[in-house]
Amino acid sequence: MSTAFAIIAGVGPGTGASLARKFALSYPVALLARNPDNYTSLVDEINKSGGKAIGISTDVSSSSSITSAISEIKEKYGDKCAAAVFNASGPFARKSILELTEKEFTGGYEVSCKGAFLFSQQTLPLLVEHTNDAGAKYPGTLIFTGATASVKSNALMSAFSTGKYAMRALSQSIAREFAPKGVHVAHAIIDGVIDIPRTKEWLKDMPPEAKIEADAIAEAYWNLHTQSKRAFTNEIDIRPMLEKW
């Protein structure tokens, strides 16, 4: 019951699945997604291949849903979280300021920032617990998946970018509060199209190097997790070689 585990919030067929597979090589993993279709077969795959995984249907923007998910995880895996990744991102309306409904506008924030806050609040005590464990191999690590819109806010993108800028602020504030406790907090600016089933038709006349490989993002996050307390990276950017930036 006292093994450290990892939590991935926002599991889908892209980055989330790659993160799950990567972290499952070293830890039991708990996979959160609103829709069980997003994790069911993945949980099976990991369990069959010698890893350990559970999936929990969770709405990260709901306090009670997150709280209940974390309770279930603690029951199953204990109270030492080695790594928690917030990878959730809702759909968003790409519209003029004049055409956005209030609900559409706040939708980005609800998931990207309020959800990230609720997730952090529940996981930070478990990350501290792990960090303080003498047997911990790597410091407890909290990683947030950001986007180009975390640092550049284009026309028609306000519903998305306001949530992403706010999430970056959250990440920096938590990083500064929890670094002295040995918890490693990092924010990743994913700048480019990720190569997932949903983006199959995008950039299809370009070579593969025009899109980001989800497994490579998972590799980068793992490398963040294994950093020592004497060399924390708090922000990285990730883009494919053919991205204009």
Applying the rule CB under 8 A, the residues between 46 and 65 that interact with a copy of itself are: 63
Residue whose C-alpha is closest to residue 188's, from 139, 151, 138: 151
Under DSSP, the state recorded for 79 is S
- Kindly state the tokens that stand for 188: 């990743």
Of 102, 197, 201, 205, which lies in the binding site for a copy of itself, with binding defined by CB under 8 A? 102
Q: How many CB atoms lie within 10 A of CB 214?
A: 22
164 makes contact with a copy of itself (CB under 8 A): yes
Shortest separation between residue 52's beta carbon and a copy of itself, angstroms: 26
74 makes contact with a copy of itself (CB under 8 A): no
Cα separation of 46 and 25, whole Å? 9
22 makes contact with a copy of itself (CB under 8 A): no
Amino acid present at 223 = N
User: Which residues inside 109-128 make contact with a copy of itself, applying CB under 8 A?
Assistant: 109, 113-114, 117-118, 120-121, 124-125
Shortest separation between residue 125's beta carbon and a copy of itself, angstroms: 7
The C-alpha angle 160, 11, 143, rounded to 5 degrees, equals 70
Amino acid present at 50 = G
Cα separation of 32 and 140, whole Å? 19
144 makes contact with a copy of itself (CB under 8 A): no
Amino acid present at 190 = I
Shortest separation between residue 45's beta carbon and a copy of itself, angstroms: 23
179 makes contact with a copy of itself (CB under 8 A): yes
Nearer to a copy of itself, 53 or 85 (CB): 85
Of 169, 198, 202, 206, which lies in the binding site for a copy of itself, with binding defined by CB under 8 A? 169
195 makes contact with a copy of itself (CB under 8 A): yes
Q: Choose the stretch contacting a copy of itself; rule: CB under 8 A; options: 19-27, 29-37, 42-50, 213-221.
A: 213-221
230 makes contact with a copy of itself (CB under 8 A): yes
Q: How many CA atoms lie within 13 A of 27 on its CB side?
A: 29
Shortest separation between residue 211's beta carbon and a copy of itself, angstroms: 7
133 makes contact with a copy of itself (CB under 8 A): no
Residue whose C-alpha is closest to residue 47's, from 63, 29, 32: 29
Cα separation of 245 and 242, whole Å? 9
